[in-house]
Structure 1
């Protein structure tokens, strides 16, 4: 049987990591891997997480299964964190998943069950796992314009023109905040225009929110998602706890199905539990339990918010420093977009050849589409990167 298997394309980021590890240069900089790093290059465990885990270790008296949709308390806590009071809780079905990726996968399968002929509109570019999973499931993808390589901002006219071609039964996937891979985000006025298009076309929005708290703040980063779900009849939301709680390896995510028709919640909840059963049965509980403890304990929550805010401010500081250093070295303000972008990533908007030149000449490792992880920098490496970019003629 196995002789019929075919080699699959190598993961570009994993291949980049291998190249980085093999590079002997002490001055090399890793801007490829999408994890937060502090000034020492470590992805730390938050103090609030450690405190919750210690409390869990002391109090937990069973490792038995929880439920196909996970602990309902986790669903309640995450719905409040992401959606706030934008919609009544009784309109939201929710199920825990193995990470944000698991939520995305379950969302696509939910769409496939409900509308086998649905087209899924993806921003160009988007997180590579979006099209990868959709292609594996055999679902139709429609790209919509998003990133402008000239301005390094959002091509909003192109985006709205493409979204107007959607129809009822289609799904439009939107990044709730901190767009991956570009870092370029819609403003509040533009979000309202997108909502208007969704209402006109009848397409269903699916929001992927993986970086809440990394952009402009916890509440600010949730504002667009809340505005969307409050305005439309139905919506799908996939959220991740990997970044804002720093629990990457615990694989903690959640999928939400929102319907203004309150009678639909029971069927939606049953369907989410069914999908979990088919794919992995019971979702992981440790990370979800830790998140629930933090969000439900005022002291731990305050500590977590303070830590998350320090992470956000640190990344904004790196962005400002990099944009300023590039302006100093180049004598141009063409890199000002780096300070305007939000989240872990920015896209330089240059060619794969230039990205390779940065790697060969200066040991700068970033994804071939010029996406770079801002959190991979520190105060000492920012000038090194800025000089490499200017020397390369980008």
Structure 2
């Protein structure tokens, strides 16, 4: 049996991580892996997480299973965080998942169960795991225009034109905020236009929100998503706690399905529990319990929100510093987009050859499409990166 297996393509980002580790240069810069790091290059445990873990250690009495869809308190807390009061709670089915990736996978399997002929439309470009999972499940997939390589902004005219051609019943995968890999986001006015097009065509929105709080703030980052959920008949939402709570390894995510027809909520909830049972039985609980404790405790939530805001402002400051440094060296504003983008990522607009030159000659590691992780920088490495970008001729 095992002799029939074929070697799978290596993950390009994990390859990049290994190359970085093997590089003996002391001045190397890692801008590849999509993980938040502070100025010391560490992914810290947030203060509120530490405090919640201590409380949990002192009070937890069992490690028995939770429900198939996770704890109701976690569902309620996350629905409130992501959706606020934009939709009624009784119109939302939800299931805890192993991270945001697990939520994406479960959403796609739900779509496959409900509408096996549906095509999933993804932005060009998008997070590589989106097309990877879709292809693995054997689902139909197409792209809609999203990023303008010249302006490094959203190709909104092209996006709307493509969305207008999508048949009713197909699914449109959108990024809730902090678009990965480009960092270019829709404005609230643009979200409204997207909603109008989807209402006209009958396509179904599926929103992946992995970075709430990393862009313009917790409420601001969810504004577009809430508009969609409140105005569309059905909306699927995959949310992650990896970034904004800093609990990457705890694999804490949630899938929410919003339906304006409340009679569909219970059957949807039952199917989410069924899918969890087929894939991993009960979802992981440790991270979900910590998140619940923080969101339900006034003091812990305030401390978490304050630290998250420090993270957000720190990344914004790095963006502005890099844009200014490049403006000074280039003598033009062609890199101004870096300050306008939000979240951890921006796509620089370099060729694969230029990206390779940055790695080979300057010890600067980024993904081949020139996606760079702003959080991999600090105030001392920004000038080094800026000079290398100019030297390479980007």
TM-score range, shorter chain: over 0.9
**Cα deviations by residue, 1:270-322 (Å, 9 ceiling, x for unpaired):** 00000000000000000000000000000000000000000000000000000
Paired residue for 2:351?
Answer: 351
Q: Tell me by how many angstroms 1:236 deviates.
A: 0.2
Paired residue for 2:232?
Answer: 232
Instruction: Spell out the pairing of 1:194-273 with structure 2 (5 A cutoff).
Output: 194-273=194-273
**Cα deviations by residue, 1:36-80 (Å, 9 ceiling, x for unpaired):** 100100000000000000000000000000110000000000000
Paired residue for 2:380?
Answer: 380
Paired residue for 2:182?
Answer: 182
Paired residue for 2:96?
Answer: 96
Task: State the secondary structure of the residue aligned to 2:172.
Answer: strand
Alpha-carbon distance in 1 for matches of 2:350, 2:144: 20
Instruction: Spell out the pairing of 1:352-371 with structure 2 (5 A cutoff).
Output: 352-371=352-371
Alpha-carbon distance in 2 for matches of 1:297, 1:268: 30
Task: State the secondary structure of the residue aligned to 1:70.
Answer: coil
Task: State the secondary structure of the residue aligned to 2:238.
Answer: strand
Alpha-carbon distance in 2 for matches of 1:262, 1:231: 14
Paired residue for 1:149?
Answer: 149
Alpha-carbon distance in 2 for matches of 1:361, 1:330: 20
Alpha-carbon distance in 1 for matches of 2:353, 2:186: 29
Unaligned runs of 5+ in 1: none
1:136 matched to 2:136? The reply is: yes
Q: Tell me by how many angstroms 1:167 deviates.
A: 1.3
Q: Tell me by how many angstroms 1:168 deviates.
A: 1.3
Alpha-carbon distance in 1 for matches of 2:161, 2:351: 26
1:126 matched to 2:129? The reply is: no
Task: State the secondary structure of the residue aligned to 1:108.
Answer: helix
Q: Tell me by how many angstroms 1:349 deviates.
A: 1.5
Q: Tell me by how many angstroms 1:351 deviates.
A: 1.0
Q: Tell me by how many angstroms 1:169 deviates.
A: 1.0
Paired residue for 1:5?
Answer: 5
Paired residue for 1:169?
Answer: 169
Paired residue for 1:160?
Answer: 160
Q: Tell me by how many angstroms 1:256 deviates.
A: 0.4
TM-score (norm 1): 1.00
Paired residue for 1:113?
Answer: 113
Paired residue for 1:40?
Answer: 40
Paired residue for 1:191?
Answer: 191
Dislocated runs of 4+, deviation >4 Å: none
Alpha-carbon distance in 2 for matches of 1:375, 1:244: 13
Alpha-carbon distance in 2 for matches of 1:77, 1:167: 35
Paired residue for 1:331?
Answer: 331
Alpha-carbon distance in 1 for matches of 2:201, 2:229: 16
Task: State the secondary structure of the residue aligned to 1:183.
Answer: coil
Alpha-carbon distance in 1 for matches of 2:284, 2:367: 30
Task: State the secondary structure of the residue aligned to 2:239.
Answer: strand
**Cα deviations by residue, 1:185-221 (Å, 9 ceiling, x for unpaired):** 0111111110001000000000000000000000000
Alpha-carbon distance in 1 for matches of 2:173, 2:314: 29
Alpha-carbon distance in 2 for matches of 1:62, 1:22: 43
Alpha-carbon distance in 2 for matches of 1:344, 1:330: 23
Q: Tell me by how many angstroms 1:107 deviates.
A: 0.3
User: When the two structures are aligned, how many residues end up with a matched partner?
Assistant: 394
Q: Tell me by how many angstroms 1:83 deviates.
A: 0.3
Alpha-carbon distance in 2 for matches of 1:144, 1:357: 31
Instruction: Spell out the pairing of 1:44-83 with structure 2 (5 A cutoff).
Output: 44-83=44-83
Alpha-carbon distance in 1 for matches of 2:196, 2:363: 46
Alpha-carbon distance in 1 for matches of 2:6, 2:235: 37
Alpha-carbon distance in 1 for matches of 2:38, 2:191: 32
Q: Tell me by how many angstroms 1:108 deviates.
A: 0.3
Paired residue for 1:25?
Answer: 25
Paired residue for 1:274?
Answer: 274
1:289 matched to 2:292? The reply is: no
Alpha-carbon distance in 1 for matches of 2:378, 2:343: 15
